Amino acid sequence: MLLEKVANVADRLLTVWIVGALVVMVLTIISDVFLREALSYPLTWNLEVAQYCLINLTYVGAALAFRHRAHISINVVTSLLPTRVEKWVDVAGRVLVLPFLVILAYSGMQILQKAKGVTPTLRLPIWVYYFPIFIGAVLLCFYGVLQAIEAVHAARSDGGAEPVGGTPRGVV
């Protein structure tokens, strides 16, 4: 399926993005602590870089976690249902979350459009700080649609197979 191939490419890119942001954040903090304590020369830009990396980790990481179904899932009640009904309840849940993800993406776009000015130390355009919020929300929408499609296919099939992408539902 084409969507699954696109999702796999996005997964690899997001993993590199997140790991890169984490590495930059850790190296920035370690170098600032070393320079401040050992050489009495604190960095002036470290806080902005660390904050930007943390924003990336949070919003882009949330999308990747959503893709792999790594968010907390409480399925005590639904696990008591017959398998076929449980699958259709899963479809309903995945479809119900889509409007909220679209609202999040729309809100992220509005924030991005209204962002004016530059950051205090690095003098970067302020929209750079808000860009990961929008990207994360768009990716959440994409992965939400993909998971809804997978859930419909799983509910229509007679087999007890889990959806193709990510970790099985409820496994953390």
Given a cut of 70, whether residue 140 has pLDDT beyond it is yes
- What does pLDDT average to over the chain? 88
Question: Which are the contacts of 75, defined by CB distance < 8 A and separation ≥ 6?
Answer: 169, 170
φ, ψ for residue 125, nearest 5 deg: -60, 140
Task: Give the whole-angstrom CA distance, residue 61 versus residue 143.
Answer: 13
Q: What is the mean pLDDT of residues 111-117?
A: 91
CA-nearest of 164, 168, 137 to 7 is 164
Q: What is the pTM of this model?
A: 0.81
Task: Give the whole-angstrom CA distance, residue 57 versus residue 21.
Answer: 7
Task: Give the whole-angstrom CA distance, residue 1 versus residue 163.
Answer: 13
φ, ψ for residue 85, nearest 5 deg: -65, -40
Angle, CA 56 vertex, CA 151 and CA 119 arms, to 5°: 145
Residue 171: band (very low, low, confident or very high) from pLDDT cuts 50, 70, 90: very low
Higher per-residue confidence, 167 vs 109: 109
Q: Which amino acid is at 39?
A: L
Given a cut of 90, whether residue 143 has pLDDT beyond it is yes
Sketch the domain layout of the chain as residue ranges.
Answer: 2-156
Is residue 167 within 8 Å of 69, Cβ to Cβ?
A: yes
Cα 168 to chain centroid, rounded: 18
